[in-house]
Amino acid sequence: MRVTFLLAFGLLLSAAAADADQLIQIPTADRVSAPRAEYRHRVDGRNEGYATLLTPAGPGFEAMFRYYNNEDRSHRIEGGGQFQLLPDGVVTPALAVGMWDVTNSTPWGRRAFLAITKSFTRFGTSLFTVPAPLERLQFTLGAGTGRLGGGFAGLRADLPGRLSLIAEFDSRRLNTGISFRPLPPLSLTAELQNGNPYLGAQLRASF
């Protein structure tokens, strides 16, 4: 099963640009419009990482699959998804409900959640605009169960030069990161997850 998942992940990496930007560990209410795959690996301490696949799965629904590569000494796969009740509009935020690790089979466990996400841009249709040099601010608030229990929050700031700064509280810890997009389908990330450094890459498909 691990080999099959990694082969599928590798095939997705050959695809090529899309939209909804995620954070680090917490969900957002945005929904991807095309498949995207990413891998993050810890670069100090334990040899561990995880691969994530996000893909549309019907009107309003997004499916998520994640493979843990020795993360918390686990080699397991979790599956789940979320349903977007409202898209991000001129005034109203995006609203989504979902559940990750439906079978409760990984160390991170089953996590149900409600997420609210709102973006503000410098040029766009949002009610408020952000000042230069910011190009976009994305705010996320939510509540959940399990490792998302107690509430979570996140902020993503898009800057000139295809750079983004990310900060989130996943109900237990603070995670921060920086993302650089050298090409439309490719993003490179450097993150601190609970103080542990991770490097990663994401590829987005377009059809």
Please give the chain's pLDDT, 207 residues, in tens.
443 333 344 433 333 333 567 899 999 999 999 999 999 999 998 899 999 999 999 999 999 999 999 987 879 999 999 999 999 998 899 999 999 999 999 988 999 999 999 999 988 766 788 988 999 999 999 999 999 998 999 999 999 999 999 999 999 999 999 999 999 999 999 999 999 999 999 999 976
**pTM of the predicted model, to two decimals?**
0.85
CATH code at position 197: 2.40.160.40
Rounded to 5 degrees, φ, ψ at 4 are: -60, -45
Distances from the Cα of 41 to the Cαs of 16, 31, 176, in angstroms? 22, 24, 15
Provide the domain limits for residue 130.
2-204
Q: Please state, in angstroms and rounded to a whole number, the distance separating the CA atoms of residues 128 and 130.
A: 7
Q: What is the DSSP letter of 131?
A: P
Q: Which of 62, 14, 10 is nearest to 34 (CA)?
A: 62
Q: Judge contact between 179 and 158, C-beta under 8 A.
A: no
Q: Please state, in angstroms and rounded to a whole number, the distance separating the CA atoms of residues 101 and 29.
A: 18
| Count of domains for the chain | 1
Q: Which H or E run contains 6?
A: helix 2-13
Amino acid at 11: L
